[in-house]
Chain A
């Protein structure tokens, strides 16, 4: 069992969900303010980190 891989899948999906919620509150133009851009940056960094973990754990 790789608990780390399972954690990474969920954390990655949660971070993508944070981006999804920003898409919703900025629809339809998706013009993000600085704070929203920072949140997206943070979420993307988290997703990239989880992908790296998954590569290490599963491949």
Chain B
């Protein structure tokens, strides 16, 4: 089916199947956001009632002004702004503090956009190594800060830490790392791309200077969307307003913020964030139910002989990395569909989101499933394993 007269197929992935895609499940729209899209999808729709001082976070209808205040409070931070994706939040923070040649510390499991946000400032990344069990620790952060001081003669300008990393879905000691960083007056950027909107997050408790969340990854909003929140102490820096003046025209630009080039997020993305926000605030309180569903699926997979769970156990997040080299990949060696047998078998049972052909190392995310769906996924994996001669322990 096409979307009307255009050449775009209607996308029905989540209406017809259970989606396990690690990056998609937390960003699926709530019914409220879908409805808001229907009426607010036009480009500059939220600007209908934009009045002086002509800035996005001052718009009262739809209630964006209140939304920004509520978001900051919910995250335990001083102020919040929307950004077109978490990466733009990284860029905004790096753009505020990092200059050419400045060192920045980044956890070794970080997303590539963290690195690029430093590169665009011509800064220099130094990594905090992961432990053998794939964690970033306060001890490792402390050692690397000292290394940077030795190498550069000054501490890093910033420290980036993912609360839950995208590679293993492991949880890292943000509080401990922030405590160490602050002993050197290093501002800490908390990457909450897999946590904000998924599980409770409070910046004050964690002791971080900035929180970045992703609307389209974890807050049930359209892409590109995200949140950048800062402590009150850092807000004047990262949300600084323009001082620019045209030399010929004398034009000035009010209180537009420099870091994100004025109004950051308009139309569908911000209305989606706004419409989903009440549900998102509520759903983080039920993360234990999400973990229980994840356990059903992961326990089933772990019971297939030869399968290894590469993420920390017990699981603290619904994103999990697995190694099935000793199970499903053994089947793939002789199956007529080779590595595609697994995704094909899952597809036939109405399960999607796994990279076609992947039978060695892969990831799933069970977030947002009902209990019935989790049991269905678990049963399906076991059925596929048994059908293909694998042993269930």
Interface residues of A (CB under 8 A from B): 10, 13-14, 17-18, 20-21, 23-29
Contacts and interface: CB of A to CB of B under 8 A. Distances in A.
A54 B38 CA distance: 18
A11 B392 CA distance: 50
A20 B39 contact: no
Nearest to A10: B39
Given A21-B31, A28-B349, 19 more contacts: A10-B38, A10-B39, A13-B35, A13-B38, A17-B31, A17-B34, A18-B31, A20-B15, A20-B31, A23-B15, A23-B16, A24-B28, A25-B370, A26-B370, A27-B18, A28-B17, A28-B18, A28-B376, A29-B376
A14 B40 CA distance: 13
Contacts of A14: 35, 38
Interface in B313-369: 349-351
B14 interface: yes
Q: Which 3 A-B pairs have the closest CB atoms?
A: A28-B350, A21-B31, A23-B15
A20 B28 CA distance: 13
14 contacts: A10-B39, A17-B35, A17-B38, A20-B15, A20-B31, A23-B15, A25-B370, A27-B14, A27-B16, A27-B17, A27-B350, A28-B17, A28-B18, A28-B350
Contacts of A29: 350, 376
A24 B14 CA distance: 6
Interface of B: 14-18, 28, 31, 34-35, 38-39, 349-351, 370, 373, 376
B68 to A, nearest CB: 26
A20 B18 contact: no
Contacts of A17: 31, 34-35, 38
A19 to B, nearest CB: 10
B383 to A, nearest CB: 14
Nearest to B39: A10
Contacts of B373: 25, 27
Contacts of A24: 14-15, 28
Contacts of B31: 17-18, 20-21
A27 B349 CA distance: 10
B325 to A, nearest CB: 28
* Most chain A CB neighbours (cut-off 10 Å) among B17, B34, B39, B376: B34
Contacts of B370: 25-26
Contacts of A13: 35, 38
* Most chain B CB neighbours (cut-off 10 Å) among A13, A21, A23: A21
Contacts of A27: 14-18, 350, 373
A21 B376 contact: no
A13 B34 CA distance: 10
Contacts of B38: 10, 13-14, 17
A14 B36 CA distance: 9
B282 to A, nearest CB: 16
A29 B17 CA distance: 8
B194 to A, nearest CB: 21
B28 to A, nearest CB: 8
Contacts of B15: 20, 23-24, 27
Contacts of A20: 15, 31, 34
A25 to B, nearest CB: 5
Nearest to A11: B35
A13 B31 CA distance: 11
Contacts of A18: 31
A17 B370 CA distance: 19
A15 B17 CA distance: 21
A26 B349 CA distance: 13
A24 B368 CA distance: 10
Contacts of B16: 23, 27-28
A26 B28 CA distance: 15
Contacts of B376: 28-29
